[in-house]
Amino acid sequence: MDMVAAVVAGEGLGRVCGLAAEAVGAPVAVVVPRLGAYVSTGIDVELASLRSYVEARLRNRPASVPATVALEVAVESGGDTVGAVLALGPVGSEAPELMHAVCVAVLTELAMVDARLEVEENLRGSFLEQLRTGAVGTTSDDVVRRAARFGCDLSRGAVALCAEPAGERVRHLVALVSDEVPEALAQLAEDGRVYGLVPPAADDGDAAGSATTLARRVAARLRAHGSVGLSSFFAEPAALDRALEEAALVLDVVRLGGAPSAGDVGDGTYRLLFRVLASHPEEVRSFYADTIAPLSRYDEQYGSDLVATLSAWFEHDCSTVATAAAIFVHRHTVAYRLDRVRELTGLDPLKSEDRERLGLGLKAGRVIAPGRN
């Protein structure tokens, strides 16, 4: 009871080891990888070697019992062994029962840690959910102050991420974000997706570059477990709700096979399109309808390849010869199709201003109708 009381009072497992040592008449160590390694005070012992021994045992790897260990009792939680309590010297016959009492204290500490983590996780989730829905105060100070409670500095902005796992290990994605960037915020939302905010490194003067680099590093790890969408960098904390929305839009486009395939907003044009789509989606759809939509409808009706040809033409620096070689048709066929583009849209691909509108229309189509463009 004294050992459990010490845990509840916040005195830690070091105090538990001291009480246990007095009871069994020998030094006692507690090794639980999730919590760390502890030993009764006044004892000169190599905790690193004890921790290596216990971790090897937990992984079912061969390990020699350290010479100092006279008695070992496993700490079990939910049917799994999570650590060990070790007596580091000769003990009496009553020691095993007393060591099991130490295990009860350790499990109490684990339960308290899990409870704190759950509360913190719920608070993180509440913050991100409120940020997404606009329930957080509208000023940057409100956002920065609340994020600071979780050790996340959003004062210089952040890049948002949205990930959708391919399997069932959803919470594993949250752990990966924290493991890669401890200062980041990440949480599983009710829609089954993981949302996060990745701030720049504190010691990096280039906030945008730093946050973008860190977010891409996180995305590279998450991509092994599902689809990921990243927003562009938002410098204003009060605008991070739009960053989260932008990341979700990018994820939707990535999942449907549109651009950008790497889950990043990419170049300036895509960045602009996603920001406009997040705030004024009707404008992007209207622009697409006035430029590329007629070509897409024509392709669907007649089985032609006007959109694909126009896209290839832009990809090959508007060269008819290079485009023809790339799509395996005669250059006259490319020229004919470009004439059809002009007739259907009223925009001439050979005129610079019209060419810019068509190029932007193709990108808008990849954002709002990725499966068709």
Which residue(s) pair with 30 in the sheet? 38, 85
Same domain? For 269 and 308 the reply is no
Could you tell me if 171 and 89 lie in one domain? no
**pLDDT score at 278:** 65
Q: Is residue 130 domain-resident?
A: no
Residues 256 and 342 in one domain: no
At 340, which CATH number?
1.10.10.2840
Write the DSSP symbol of residue 238: G
**Tokens, residue 216:** 């891409």
Q: Are residues 34 and 86 in the same domain?
A: yes
Percent of the chain with pLDDT over 70: 87
Q: Between vectors from CA 69 to CA 64 and to CA 74, what angle results, nearest 5°?
A: 85
Per-residue pLDDT band at 329 (split at 50, 70, 90): very high
For tokens 């932008």, the residue is: 246
Geometric angle at alpha carbon 128, from 125 and 129, rounded to 5°:
80
296-314 residue pLDDT tens? 999 999 999 999 999 999 8
Average the pLDDT over 108-127 and give the result. Answer: 72
- Assess if residue 142 is contained within a domain: no
Three-point CA angle 80, 83, 84, nearest 5°: 120
- Burial class (CB within 10 angstroms; exposed 0-12, middle 13-18, buried 19+) of 97: exposed
Q: What is the pLDDT of residues 189-243, one digit of tens each?
A: 877 888 999 999 988 889 999 999 999 999 988 888 888 888 889 999 988 988 8
Report which listed range, 6-15, 113-122, 274-283, 324-333, is most confident.
Answer: 324-333
Residues 108 and 193 in one domain: no
What six digits make up the tokens of 243? 């960053």
Domain boundary among 225, 247, 275: 275
Task: State whether 251 and 292 are in the same domain.
Answer: no
Supply the CATH number for residue 63's domain: 3.30.450.40
Return the pLDDT at 6.
Answer: 82
Q: Using the structure block, give the residue that is written with the tokens 């796992």.
A: 165
The answer to whether the beta carbons of residues 180 and 172 sit under 8 Å apart is no
Mean pLDDT of 26-34: 86
Outline where DSSP puts E strands in the chain: 28-32, 36-39, 71-77, 80-87, 158-165, 185-188, 194-198, 226-234
Mean per-residue pLDDT over the chain, rounded = 83
Asked if pLDDT for residue 358 goes beyond 70, the answer is yes
The whole-angstrom separation of Cα 57 and Cα 45 is 19
Domain count, the chain: 3
Q: Residue 196 region, left (φ>0) first, then alpha (ψ -120 to 50), else beta?
A: beta
pLDDT digits (tens, 9 = 90+) for 149-177: 888 899 999 999 999 887 656 667 888 88
Domain that holds residue 269: 154-275
Mean pLDDT of 15-39: 85
* 3-state SS class at 17: helix
Whole-model pTM: value is 0.52
